[in-house]
Amino acid sequence: MGVSSGPRLSGMQKQVLALYRGFLRVARSKSPEERHRIESFVSVEFRRNSKQIDGKNFQYIEYLLRLGKKQLEQLKNPDTIGLSSLSVNSSRIKRS
């Protein structure tokens, strides 16, 4: 969806950035190694999607947003120590 270059952000871009921020925030609550793993995984994932996905493909972006929010909720659970389960999920969601 083309990482934004202009100063004005669309509502959807804001949601994506808020989700990204949410992942980085939750990473802070995990162990240092896990934090690092989460940060690099999420960073790679968001950047890959931002390059590959057409910014006008709202439906697909909405879908990824919902998915990401769900994964973020799982990660917020203190019992979730890391995202190894998430990487399994994400390999399942290969784009159709």
List contacts with other proteins (CB under 8 A): 3-5, 7, 9, 13-14, 17-18, 20-21, 24-25, 28, 43, 46-47, 50
Report d(CA 44, CA 51) in Å as an integer: 11
Shortest spacing between CB 21 and other proteins, in angstroms:
5
Report the residue number, 58 or 85, with the smaller CB distance to other proteins.
58
CA-nearest of 36, 26, 17, 38 to 77 is 26
The residue (of 7 and 32) whose beta carbon lies closer to other proteins is 7
